[in-house]
Amino acid sequence: MHPEMRYEHVVYQNPFLAMRIWQIDSENRASEETRRKLELDWQQSRYSGWHYHEEVEFLLILKGELTAFCKEQRLQLRKGDVALFGSSEPHTTLQTNDGSLSYIVLQIDLRKYWDASTLSSMQHFSEVIRPLSSLNYIYKNNKEVRAQTAALIREIYREMNDAQIGYELAVSSSIKSVLLLLLRHDTRAQLHYNNNRLVERLQPAIDYVEANLGEKLSVADVSGLVNLSYTHFIKTFKKAIGMSFTDFVVYRRIKKAEQQLLTNEASIAEVAESVGFSNLGHFYDMFRRYNDCSPKQFRDRLRKPESESES
């Protein structure tokens, strides 16, 4: 990344949903000089004021006008418009009207929504070839999808703020509905570069990983299950699934550890060992990578509301 570009650490409102959503209201407008400079320089690699984060980001304009920039696009956004930026994709925004501005920002770590039941669908959002900002044409050209997405983002915002019982289910469902709209209306096939036949070919290997997360998993052994050489298996797996075999194994181990932490009283060391981590320090490092908290903090966050409700 360019040295002037800022990495933004996103603090989740709910670590289990791996997301943050909030509304920004502003009366300020950039100076004419700043606006003109950004308009001229946005494609010239002068990234001062730009930022990026691992989470995918949606913007919904409620009032006013905003110009959003990413490496390949300049988006003029007005009331009701939606914009999307991919994971770790540099972007910035600039208010372009003289009146007040109001918009909702939704940031999501889509990796938290990968599981065995959604793997074949979620792989389309892995950004192996292109960032998700390539889908902004859908919001620009399809009024119905834009309106439905806006309504879903508003619903997510309301559910997160009301925090009524079951809101996690409602939010998770709405997020998946937003993704489904993109997948179903991607007429330019920006998401359809993965080969589903490859996933089917690799299914025995995926099933084996899921069934043996607590054991030592060797690429050589797993590749043999699908009759592929070591090198061909590595390349095929990355192309089909959207992440390397090693990253996939770690991800699934962490997901299983999360389940263990929330459903039994085993010690953290026991949980680590049960999902295949022989080194406790490495387990902590990997857990923090996916959850921005320690295993103990992860477990305590779920129990805190219960203890508060009992008091």
Taking only the tens place, the pLDDT of each residue in 153-173 is: 999 999 999 999 999 999 999
Asked whether the predicted pLDDT for residue 35 surpasses 60, the reply is: no
Instruction: List the 74-77 sheet strands across, edge first.
Output: 6-7, 51-52, 91-95, 66-70, 74-77
The pair of three-digit structure tokens given for residue 249, joined into one six-digit string: 């194994």
pLDDT digits (tens, 9 = 90+) for 66-98: 989 886 688 999 999 999 999 888 888 888 777
Specify which of 5-9, 176-180, 238-242, 250-254 reaches the highest per-range mean pLDDT: 176-180
The residues spanned by each domain of the chain are: 6-184, 196-301
Average pLDDT over residues 105-110: 95
Asked if CATH classification 3.40.718.10 holds for the domain at 6-184, the reply, yes or no, is no
pLDDT digits (tens, 9 = 90+) for 252-307: 898 888 878 877 789 999 999 999 999 999 999 999 887 778 999 888 866 554 44
Prediction pTM value:
0.67
In the block, residue with structure tokens 């070919």: 201
- The pLDDT score that the predictor gives to residue 43 is 44
Cβ contact 95:25 at 8 Å: no
Asked if CATH classification 1.10.10.60 holds for the domain at 196-301, the reply, yes or no, is yes
Of 263 and 202, which is predicted with more confidence?
Answer: 202
